[in-house]
Amino acid sequence: MWIGIDDTDSPAGMCTTYIGAVLVQQLEHAGIRVVDTRLVRLNPNVIHKTRGNAAVCIEAVGDLEAAFELVAACVEEFAEFDDPQTNPGVAVSPTRPPPDFYYTALRDFCTVDGAVRVLESAGALYKGYKNRRGLIGATAAIASEFPDKTYELLAYRKREVCGTPRRVDAGSLFRADEETYPHTWDTVDRENGVVVCVPHTPDPVLFGIRGESPAWVRMARSFVRSEETACEQIYVTNQGTDAHLIAGSIGTLREGRSYLVGGRVTGSPKTGLGGHVSIILEDDGAEVRCMAYEPTKGFREVVRALLPGDIVMAAGSYKGGSLNLEKIGVVRPANAARVRPPRCRVCGKRMTSAGRGKGYKCRTCVERSHNPEVEQIERHIRPGWYEVPPSARRHLARPLARGVPLWEESLFQSIRECGTPPL
């Protein structure tokens, strides 16, 4: 059976993955064998999300009705029902629904009615609380498939200390990263000298270690020194896979979806109030503003190094008319040149314009010229991929430490060969 849970937390506390971890223990105690635990990230642009738009799926073998009773009781015990924005949903299905609903919830928007239709045709037992919105995430979780996957080990706090400052030794996290990177990632942000894997929100998560296999996340965890944990759970997840990205073109972007697009830089990068950096990309007559916000720190230098004429690929969410950058592929930097009036052959002074289309004249002699001085500018940006630092990374964004997915790399290559996006 496939068990889905979502929308149990609020900004004041709780976390759906914690309920998942508790449930794993309760199911096993009741003689229901757990075979898989999935942490499923959905569309990061959904406005109702509390934090990272996560849902949980537990695959198990045993009595369906007994499992449903346990799941509902567990959610009723732990979910933050008092928060008006918390609308839990639980589902237990004897069959796995087709993955279409998952892909829509991951890359687009769904309705509760749509979720109910999927659950009905799967023959699932389900329950939606309050406005039942959580059924969307619960259904997407049980319908999920991961063509690419990573792992996260989540360590949870004891109930009595929740809400107090977390005690995790930062040095031990840097050590864990040193010993296991690039097989684990986003434990710390070396470039900015900060810990990434310890949340600051009042939920039960103490820390989370992300990596390529259960063995690697366990190995990294073994270096971590911290307060005593209540329990720990390893989830298989779509985090760090770019599963949210749609191969798009600039003229067809839709609000609230995430894309990978190709285009040509027009105009110079601009640094606005608060240190946010923007560039305009153009393709086939359509333009989009791409934003590198202040929290992306050193990544903004990459964006600032772009020049008009550069051919790039940009990945990110399209929100409020801008593409919020997660990474950039520099496909072909433009040949940049500085063009200015030549020096006078007679007196050596720099000439001035003689008027539009009339070349240059020397103010001192009568000398004239039609050939400007062209100086090639050395480009410091090299073709390749550049990403935001771990501290600014979206859960679903694939770190470059994992390599670039084949479909992204083949788009990159075809743009390099054709000169323009082939979309």
For ligand ATP, the binding residues (CB under 6 A) are 6-7, 9, 15-16, 42-43, 46, 48-54, 87, 105, 109-110, 133-134, 136-137
Kindly state the tokens that stand for 205: 């998560």
156 or 216: CB nearest ligand ATP: 156
Q: Least distance from C-beta 246 to ligand ATP, angstroms? A: 13
Q: Cα angle at 55 between 53 and 56, to 5 degrees?
A: 155
Q: What is the distance between the terminal CA atoms of the chain, rounded to a whole angstrom? A: 40
Q: How many CB atoms lie within 10 A of CB 120?
A: 10
Q: Least distance from C-beta 250 to ligand ATP, angstroms? A: 23
Q: Least distance from C-beta 285 to ligand ATP, angstroms? A: 31
Distance in angstroms (rounded) separating the CA atoms of residues 329 and 98: 33
Distance in angstroms (rounded) separating the CA atoms of residues 385 and 400: 8
139 or 187: CB nearest ligand ATP: 139
15 or 313: CB nearest ligand ATP: 15
Decide if 231 contacts 25 (C-beta within 8 A): yes
Decide if 415 contacts 247 (C-beta within 8 A): no
Kindly state the tokens that stand for 11: 């900004």
103 or 385: CB nearest ligand ATP: 103
Q: Least distance from C-beta 42 to ligand ATP, angstroms? A: 4
Decide if 67 contacts 421 (C-beta within 8 A): no
Q: Least distance from C-beta 133 to ligand ATP, angstroms? A: 4
Q: Least distance from C-beta 163 to ligand ATP, angstroms? A: 16
Which are the contacts of 302, defined by CB distance < 8 A and separation ≥ 6? 292, 328, 381, 386
138 or 292: CB nearest ligand ATP: 138
Torsion angle of the four alpha carbons 78, 79, 81, 87, in this order, in degrees rounded to the nearest 10 = -160
Nearest to 40 by CA among 185, 155, 138: 138
105 or 224: CB nearest ligand ATP: 105
256 or 308: CB nearest ligand ATP: 256
87 or 233: CB nearest ligand ATP: 87
Distance in angstroms (rounded) separating the CA atoms of residues 272 and 292: 10
Q: Least distance from C-beta 193 to ligand ATP, angstroms? A: 26
Distance in angstroms (rounded) separating the CA atoms of residues 389 and 188: 10
Q: Least distance from C-beta 217 to ligand ATP, angstroms? A: 19
Count CA within 13 A, CB hemisphere, residue 260.
Answer: 24
55 or 292: CB nearest ligand ATP: 55
Nearest to 397 by CA among 201, 254, 196: 196
Distance in angstroms (rounded) separating the CA atoms of residues 17 and 147: 21
Going along 42-124, which residue ranges are E strands?
Answer: 54-61, 89-93
Q: Least distance from C-beta 43 to ligand ATP, angstroms? A: 4
